[in-house]
Amino acid sequence: MVLITEVSLRDGLQIEPVVVPTEAKIRFATRLVEAGFSSLEVGAFVNPARVATMADTGEVVAGLADQRAACHTLVLNERGARRAVAAGARHARLVMSASEGHSEANSGAGTDEVMRRLARAADVLREAGIRLEGCIATAFVCPFDGDTPVERVVRVARHYADLGVEVLHLADTIGAASPSDVTRALAAVRDVFPIERIGLHLHNTYGMAAANAWAAYGHGVRRFDAALGGLGGCPFAPGATGNIAADDLIHLFHREGIDTGIDTAKLGPLRDELAGLVGHELPSALAKVPATPAVVRSRS
């Protein structure tokens, strides 16, 4: 069994020029849950002047309070943590970059300062009983600084462990990692988090996301972020394109006889709905092929 966190309402939408109405976000998240997703990323408590489409994250979280799925949101500072608490969030994902260049572009501060901010944010979140996960952006390659040394990744992982983070996510923010990069980083952080508490957040910029996911699976990783249709990208990382497509990744696992708990028959209509919300076609492989039940099936 693999846990796929569907991130289109956060990472998917954050790079889109349209602001999707709150009600449409809540409706789409509800349908994702009906399709079998038990974990979603639904927004980010960040400065709305920098990412306008995340301004309603509090309302989205509140609107999904009755859902049985875990609804995750990003928190990058104490202000964001207090907003998460006020919205009644039960899960939060701390985020910081491993590299200095992306940290400055994304968070407006270097990594030392962001570590201090996240410590204050984690205090607020823990106090409210919110479960913490931690994401390391640019864990493999930075668009400004180049390859990220694994020592920088391990340093952030240790900080997260000290803050009470339960699950560590390594993010290939610009989709430039290769399977050996994934192997190297996993080997380094496994001393800090056990493999069952490590997830991968992949982008498909250079077409290597599926290879990276499969390499990680071979090392024991069972948690993956993915966005339906391959929507997404970081607005503060030049050259970043879409997330690994949830529909393609689920197809890969199902063909390999690995269960995801997702009903693939529901993914096509959901992908169409998402394309309608953002106003353009989505780039996943499955978006381009006709539905062929003999191929798109679970062997598990």
Q: Where on the chain is the footprint of ligand ACO (CB under 6 A)?
A: 11, 14, 44-47, 50-51, 74, 76-77, 79-80, 83, 95, 106-109, 137, 173, 234, 236
Nearer to ligand ACO, 73 or 260 (CB): 73
Where are any strands of DSSP class E within 8-158? Answer: 39-45, 70-75, 91-97, 131-137, 141-142, 146-147
Q: Count the Cβ atoms, other than its own, within 10 Å of residue 168.
A: 24
Active site residues: 234
Cβ 223 to ligand ACO, closest distance in Å?
Answer: 17
Q: Please give the structure tokens belonging to residue 54.
A: 């995340």
Report DSSP state, residue 149. P
Residue 187 neighbours by CB distance under 10 Å: 11
**Minimum distance, C-beta of residue 204 to ligand ACO, in the bound complex (Å):** 15
Least separation in angstroms between residue 10's CB and ligand ACO is 8
Closest to 76 measured CA to CA, from 53, 105, 39: 105
Report the DSSP pairing between strands 141-142 and 39-45. unpaired
* Residues contacting residue 220 through CB under 8 Å, at least 6 positions apart: 195, 196
Residue 290: CB minimum distance to ligand ACO, A: 33
Nearer to ligand ACO, 11 or 247 (CB): 11
Q: Which is nearer to ligand ACO, 76 or 231 (CB)?
A: 76
Q: Which is nearer to ligand ACO, 140 or 236 (CB)?
A: 236
CA distance linking residue 227 with residue 223, whole number of Å: 14
